[in-house]
Structure 1
Amino acid sequence: MSSTHVVESKTGTQHVDDTAVEAQRHVSHDNNGYDLDEKAKVADYKADAVEAENAEHNMGVLEAVKAYPMATFWAFIMSFTIIMESYDVFLCNNFVALPAFKEKYGIYDGEKNGYVITTGWQSALQVSGQLGALIGVFLAGPLTSRIGYRWATITGLMLLNAFILVFYFAESLPVIFVSQILEGLPWGIFIANAPAYCSEIVPIKLRAPATQMLQMFWAIGSIIVGAVTYVYNPVHNDSAFKIPIAIQWIFPTPLAILLFLAPESPWWLVRKGRLDDAARSVGRLGRKSRLNIPETVAMMRRVIELEKTEKEPSYVELFKGVDTYRTLIVCGAYAAQNLTGNLIANQAVYFFEQAGLATNTAFALGLITSALQWIFVMLSWILTTYLGRRTIYLYGSAINVVLLIALGIAGSVGNSNASTNTVAALGLIISVLFTLGPAPASWVIIGETSSIRLRPLTTGVGRASYYIVEIPLIFLSSYLLNPTGGNLGGKCGYVWGGTGLFCLVVAYFYLPEMKGRSYREIDILFKRKVPAREWKKTVVDVQDDE
């Protein structure tokens, strides 16, 4: 039984003749204990693998787009799922500033402040979706490893359709809280799967823009929310928040149909031994006239064989050996998003309101912020593609820290019109520049860092670290801004400037540059324990297998 299992795990759906099976039973070994027949099999496709890897390295960005036009399209479709989480996160954040919502669910806090959502419920509503997503990301890893990226994501989309019903018909804050936890479950699947799928279906030169699309769609979700809530801000009945809730139903079903038609990640198929299916998937992702499909599959086989063990992937493996470092990089990149300006961006409307701007002006500025974020994410494609991930991340974080401290200073000089306008302007600039540097670069880092074998699990745990850090910080952020709490306004810049500086220092010492590296090279550099600052100048020979 054991020899039959090995043959099947290596060849998948390929036919194996009796001679190969017999040879497997009478295996010989060299002086180092390696299986000579296994080494011969690897040699059979290594030459093809080398050719495919060299071809990807030699592609320019435009050439890569022409060679893989459908890969770009399907990465776009998968990234679209992030709109659902973005939309609802910003929706709940905007609801706490929406007059009709505050009048129905808030308390009267005097003539100056009018109706407000209490600090406790404000924080609870903002963390409820994240609590559900925290559960969802842990479900995503095993589910995706078993049934693939497509079917796991389709399952999440169908669940989301049902859970929106609970949100729409909720008539109390506790029920809204529960509905958001339920909606968070599929969000966890989307956010864990999207960066992994996008990074796996495109060639090396397109990994940056393909994964950075996630940040672009996050911005698009906030634009839609900003436009909808701006339109319904003057409305003082339930439709002001019921209609924005119902708009969520626009997305799941069409996306589920498209993903049903999408190809599965060929890397996932190779991991499962389904080489013929992987070849078909590569053919659907790229232009057959420009690709050598057998060579591309051979390149994937080479990497998978380097990582292969007889064990099923498990969460325990993420924290063993060199995979611990890789997991910590992914977790750090995710967690740092909340520590370098993201919470100001996510609470932009409420931040502007607490800075002293009128409600209509706050909603308008929130919409402008989201639109600028969308534009700046697209600019980041160019920067990250040509300058690298580490470079953009470090310089972007440094600029953000300076601006956050400036925000704190501006919030400390009094309540004049000049200081109010300065705080609002800095809040807008920080929210926008965050999407030019640290945010989009972190998505590329997340998509590239983990091993292929453990990728669904690593992206899930990484996103879990995001929520674990974000949930208490949402309570802190709400307290800092809320007039019934700390009422700090712009002075919160001191807090986030301090945490941003910590993230910058850690990234300087531990974040490697993975620009232009194949997954084989990334595996080897981690196994060699090359220091992060040495990656850029370290050469990995195309023949190396470690």
Structure 2
Amino acid sequence: MGKPSSDAVLLATEADTSVYSPWSKSMFKLYGVLALAYLCGCLNGFDGSLMGAINAMEPYQDYFGIGNTGSSTGIVFALYNLGSIPAVFFTGPVNDYFGRRAGMFTGALIIIIGTCIQAPAVNMHMFMAGRFLLGFGVSFCCVSAPCYVSEMAHPMWRGTLTGLYNTCWYIGSIIASWTCYGTNFLHSNWSWRIPLWAQLVSSVIVAVGAFMLPESPRWLVANDRVEEARAILGKYHGEGREDHPIVNLQIIEMYHQIQIDASDKRWWDYSGLIKTRNARHRLICVLGMAFFGQLSGNSITSYYLPVMVETAGIDDSSTQLKLNGVYPVLCWLGSILGARLTDRIGRRPLLIWSILFSSACFAIITGTTKLAVDRNNKMASDVAITFVYIFGIVFSFGWTPLQSGYIAETLTTETRAKGTAVGNLGSNVAGAIIQYSSGPAFKEITYYFYLVFVAWDLIEAVVIYFYFVETKDRTLEELDEVFSDPHPVKKSLQKRSINTVANTMGVSMTTSADVYSSGFLHVSILQPRWDDFHFNDNRGSYGPRTPIAIVNYPIPSRLSTKATSRPLCDGRQPCSWCTENEVDCLYGQQQQQPAAGNQGKSDRILETVLRMDGLLRSIHENLVSWQTLSNANQRIFKSDQQQQSLQHRAISSPRFSDPSSPDNSDFAKIPSTHISATEDLLSSSFAAPYPSLRSQFRPIFLLESRCPAIPFQPRSIRPVFTIEEAERLLTSFQKNVNFWYPTVSKFTLQNLFERVRNGFVENTCEDCAALLVMALGAASELVQLVHSSAKVYGFETRQQQSELMTMASVCFDEALKLLNVAYMEISTISTQCVFLAAIYCSFLQRPLQTWGHLNTAATKCRSLLAYGTGSGNVEDDECIRRIFWSCYIIESDLISELSDLPQSGVAEVESEVPLPGPLQTHFTEAETESSALYFLSCISIRRLLNRVHHLLYAEDKYKIYTNARDESLRGLISELDRQLVLWHETLPEFLRFEEDTRDCVNEHAAFLRQRYLACKSVIYRPYVEIVLKHRDITHSAETIDAASRCLKASCDHIANLRSFSQTVMIDTWICALSMTSTMFIILVALQNTSLRPRLLEHNIPEFGSHLRDLLSSWIGVMPQKSPSIQQSIRLIAEIESLIRESR
């Protein structure tokens, strides 16, 4: 049952972050089970007050002819503890061989027999025999019950529930005290016999109910009955679920620990308590707790309280019994409070401070009792009694909850029963000594006897400080790591290490040193090893260095953005700028120089992008007036010479030039007043006939702004991964996220890999970036899982999804705690951190948080592009350019739907920033080239989309177009469509796609087709709106055909939508809104007689369910659902219903 370390941490984290309630149905069942075990604590407490009370009764003293002090009384009291001593040789074997329930039953049965001998006793010998048997039976209960409670208690409240066990000692004490107070008025032998017979009540209940309890799960696992243990844990800890994380974690921990040493199956073998240093330190804690729990002064306040009260000046027996009855009530309240705080304050602070205060109390009691010898000094008497009570409350607060619980906690599963029995033996020996000696001591030295406890309690505090470990916040099995450490006390005070859970589950952790010494990583030979790319310089992760594998992309210093204000290369070979500056054009060069006359693939895309720039600027220059443009014979292009001059002038403008300069084009920036968003459509006049849509719609910005912030999860462990798992997640990140947005170089990833396998030991940007890469790697694996199982959700699939989501959440939570470091720095790595955080927030479908991080990353990019990275490393400069363009794409996507968001300014300066250049981002040149081509394709289509928004949907232009019908649009839309076709034609082979619904060669091509169809529908949408707005006019066939192109692109856009990794990972929110607007356009177009026939050619009735199924599956794994996506799903369902009605 060994598990990888990350699975171990995953289990612990799932258990740690699951929501638990102490008031759930399963917890109340657990309380009922534990209540019966708590009665065993009542049995022991009953005798404590019982003998102290009847010892003050005159009928008892007269019947047996003894006094309330002296050696005879001492031996009667001590026999109870003496009877427990031989029982220790039987309690362990019974509990280990027959189970905890059998131990409780055996003890209760012997107590019943002992009571039947003691209560009707006719002489002291019979009375003493009964007390001996009572002690013998109670020993079984005092071993079995605390073991049972600690093993059955829910881990979240183990300290409280085990602490409550010992507080039940006072419940028995309270019942005994007040029973004796009541029977004291009988003035006959029944005054002391009735309380003795009362011991039968709880013992009979325990004997009858013991085998109605579920057996201890740890005992069941130790006896190879794992399935029974799982069923019990599922019922009482897992809310009825046997696959609950807390159940899985406990089962694995128990199984591993029990496999180490099965001495619990050898009932005769007690060597496990002493055979190792680990075990011996545990035994010191057990015996220390056992002896200190009896020798701290609490025993004399339990058995000799009436004598202490008499010493302080209270002679009346009725008053003595009344005070004896009040005492356990106050102590019980103190113990309840202490039990509740054991998991908050910790064990050591409670023990140390309470014992120090106890010493102070006895010092005060000694002085005031001496003064109270003078019967006229009423104040001294009252103070002495008050501090007796204060001592009881303080001791009960700190020690009572821990006396049994701490012993059980410090023992391993295989030694818990035997160790508890030995602890019980020590407790009984100490109890016998103190109870026997206290009688003669009170008789001979009276109040000076208290000084013994003043000194002894101080000695106890010193021993506890140096030897007792802290058990707070650790499972019973995890404490093995503490006791195995050379300095257990120091180790117990430290936060749980990253290896704790893994060690507990038997996971072998490999350190960085181990890896270096072996020289090999056990990785699949189907993919390159991360260590293959390790470089051996000592200059840090991001210091100046010479990249090993960028030999195919030499970048002269004069082309560096740091050295010059580099303009855009226009993609020609040789390009105009490079020709003018007498340098070789390096964009698009491959490992082998292309043959003469052949153009590099990245050159072709680059040329398309830049040709768009030139031609669209040319369009803008020619749009002097819309009236002139509407003339059919008006030329919209300048001459080639004018166009080339204009393009050259824009390209060679200074970096970040004045926005007011005529050379500065903002065509690639979405205007803040654009009206193409889903919200604009649903608030337009076209939605007036559909009040149900308007009534359901809420402003998107308002919905998203009400989402709670991403919370920090308090955790006591940091993420840990085996080398194989780290490689898997880093590879997943590289093949997915770093393919879509290739911003992290291969060498940077190698440095982050080192951080991961060294355990994130520093609070730096590098650690933050490593955590974010791991989070995104896990998230991308989760997306791949959703992509492959969008239709089928079995148990294993849901479990795997939950594990990946937890893994991603853990890493992101830890990264968030370090993100403030990245925000304070302006460097390449800090910019990467903030950008990757934006990507993860996009995965979480949090658009506002995405924009917040994205805006910061974009600002850092602008600063670093303007002033340089300062590292002297061309790789850093290229990373910043790529992050800049990535911010440009994602920010444009967000602002297309949330126009109220302020823009970061990347679109304002995009014409001044070079397009992505060479950067080794993947294992092979082919992967690097494919990623770069895909990235360039996404940049170019996004730039074209922004220009479409700028030229068609700026509010002032849009009104002119739609009011002037379609003549003024024809030339502009024709050119925009030509640019879209040109972009499509220049795509490399692996990104090519057909415009219909046929499958693409890969999902990257399919995703680009979605971008293409979205762009085409937006380009032709004005025709649809003109047809709908001017219903009373007969439109030309050309206009209807143009509107139909929009509708066909919209229908294909919906029909072709699949669970593409990039869509699910990053664009779910955008996709949900754009699909809503697309469905709405189809709905309103169906109402038009000219457009309706064109739509009926498509399978429109199935569109709604197709979209709802996809969106529901994408948001299903999110812990918090985006309200705007949920609104989109509701609106799509409503639109689907309206479409069905209209057909």
Partner of residue 543 from structure 1, selected from 493, 502, 506: 502
- In structure 2, the residue matched to 1:126 is 77
| 1:344–1:427 Cα contact (<8 Å) kept | no
- In structure 1, the residue matched to 2:207 is 256
In 2, distance between residues paired with 1:436 and 1:478? Answer: 27
Partner of residue 98 from structure 2, selected from 133, 147, 159: 147
In 2, distance between residues paired with 1:52 and 1:445? Answer: 26
- In structure 1, the residue matched to 2:946 is none
In 2, distance between residues paired with 1:245 and 1:462? Answer: 27
| 2:96–2:264 Cα contact (<8 Å) kept | no
- 1:175 Cα offset (Å): 1.4
Greater relative contact order structure (CA < 8 Å, 6+ sep): 1
- In structure 2, the residue matched to 1:232 is 183
Partner of residue 320 from structure 1, selected from 264, 272, 275: 275
In 1, distance between residues paired with 2:24 and 2:343? Answer: 13
The count of residues paired between Structure 1 and Structure 2 equals: 493
- 1:263 Cα offset (Å): 0.6
> What aligned pairs does 1:283-302 form with structure 2 within 5 A after superposition?
283-286=234-237, 287-289=239-241, 291-292=244-245, 293-294=247-248, 296-302=250-256
1:281 aligns with 2:281: no
Change (3 A) 1:496 1:263: same
- In structure 1, the residue matched to 2:449 is 492
- In structure 1, the residue matched to 2:440 is 479
1:366 aligns with 2:318: no
Tell me the TM-score normalised to structure 2 length: 0.42
| 2:221–2:254 Cα contact (<8 Å) kept | yes
Counterpart residue type for residue 503 of structure 1: E
In 2, distance between residues paired with 1:461 and 1:122? Answer: 27
| 1:127–1:471 Cα contact (<8 Å) kept | yes
- 1:219 Cα offset (Å): 0.4
The ranges of structure 1 where at least 4 consecutive aligned residues each deviate by more than 6 angstroms after the TM superposition are none
- In structure 2, the residue matched to 1:106 is 65
Describe the superposition over 1:277-326 as per-residue Cα deviations: whole angstroms up to 9, x where unpaired.
21222233232149354554233212323444697262222122121110
In 2, distance between residues paired with 1:412 and 1:438? Answer: 28
- 1:47 Cα offset (Å): 7.1
In 1, distance between residues paired with 2:156 and 2:354? Answer: 21
Per residue, is there more helix in 1 or in 2? 1
In 1, distance between residues paired with 2:124 and 2:317? Answer: 22
> What aligned pairs does 1:49-88 form with structure 2 within 5 A after superposition?
50-58=9-17, 62=21, 68-88=27-47
- In structure 2, the residue matched to 1:385 is 343
Counterpart residue type for residue 316 of structure 1: S
Describe the superposition over 1:131-153 as per-residue Cα deviations: whole angstroms up to 9, x where unpaired.
11222233111110000000121
Change (3 A) 1:487 1:497: same
- In structure 2, the residue matched to 1:420 is 381
- 1:276 Cα offset (Å): 1.7
1:435 aligns with 2:396: yes
Describe the superposition over 1:169-217 as per-residue Cα deviations: whole angstroms up to 9, x where unpaired.
2111121111100111110001111221111112322221211122221
- 1:69 Cα offset (Å): 3.7
In 2, distance between residues paired with 1:51 and 1:361? Answer: 60
Counterpart residue type for residue 337 of structure 1: G
- In structure 2, the residue matched to 1:13 is none
In 1, distance between residues paired with 2:80 and 2:48? Answer: 7
In 2, distance between residues paired with 1:283 and 1:61? Answer: 13
| 1:53–1:518 Cα contact (<8 Å) kept | no
Counterpart residue type for residue 91 of structure 1: L
Partner of residue 454 from structure 1, selected from 394, 397, 415: 415
In 2, distance between residues paired with 1:118 and 1:178? Answer: 20
| 1:303–1:519 Cα contact (<8 Å) kept | no
| 1:344–1:431 Cα contact (<8 Å) kept | no
In 2, distance between residues paired with 1:487 and 1:311? Answer: 50
Unmatched segments (≥5 aa) in structure 1: 1-40, 108-115
- In structure 2, the residue matched to 1:184 is 135
- 1:65 Cα offset (Å): 6.5
Q: Residue 512 of structure 1 aligns to a residue in which SS?
A: coil
In 2, distance between residues paired with 1:507 and 1:457? Answer: 22
Q: Residue 440 of structure 1 aligns to a residue in which SS?
A: coil
Counterpart residue type for residue 184 of structure 1: G
**Which moved further from structure 2: 65-74 or 208-217?**
65-74
| 2:220–2:228 Cα contact (<8 Å) kept | yes
| 1:394–1:507 Cα contact (<8 Å) kept | yes
| 1:49–1:296 Cα contact (<8 Å) kept | no
Counterpart residue type for residue 80 of structure 1: L
- In structure 2, the residue matched to 1:173 is 124
- In structure 1, the residue matched to 2:306 is 349
- In structure 2, the residue matched to 1:524 is 481
**Which moved further from structure 2: 264-273 or 358-367?**
358-367
**Which moved further from structure 2: 210-219 or 139-148?**
210-219
Counterpart residue type for residue 495 of structure 1: V
- 1:155 Cα offset (Å): 1.9
Partner of residue 330 from structure 1, selected from 275, 286, 294: 286
- In structure 2, the residue matched to 1:401 is 359
In 2, distance between residues paired with 1:164 and 1:132? Answer: 14
| 1:86–1:219 Cα contact (<8 Å) kept | yes
| 2:113–2:133 Cα contact (<8 Å) kept | no
| 1:48–1:299 Cα contact (<8 Å) kept | no
Change (3 A) 1:324 1:105: same
- In structure 2, the residue matched to 1:24 is none
1:43 aligns with 2:3: yes
- 1:432 Cα offset (Å): 1.9
Unmatched segments (≥5 aa) in structure 2: 507-1143
Q: Residue 364 of structure 1 aligns to a residue in which SS?
A: helix
Tell me the TM-score normalised to structure 1 length: 0.85
Describe the superposition over 1:350-405 as per-residue Cα deviations: whole angstroms up to 9, x where unpaired.
32133221211111111111111111111112321211111111111111111111
- 1:330 Cα offset (Å): 1.0
Describe the superposition over 1:10-66 as per-residue Cα deviations: whole angstroms up to 9, x where unpaired.
xxxxxxxxxxxxxxxxxxxxxxxxxxxxxxx4239x877655443444467745966
Cα RMSD of the aligned pairs, angstroms, is 2.3
Counterpart residue type for residue 256 of structure 2: R
Change (3 A) 1:52 1:351: farther
Change (3 A) 1:48 1:158: farther
In 2, distance between residues paired with 1:61 and 1:402? Answer: 41
Change (3 A) 1:422 1:498: same
Identity rate, percent: 22
| 2:155–2:475 Cα contact (<8 Å) kept | yes
Change (3 A) 1:466 1:310: closer
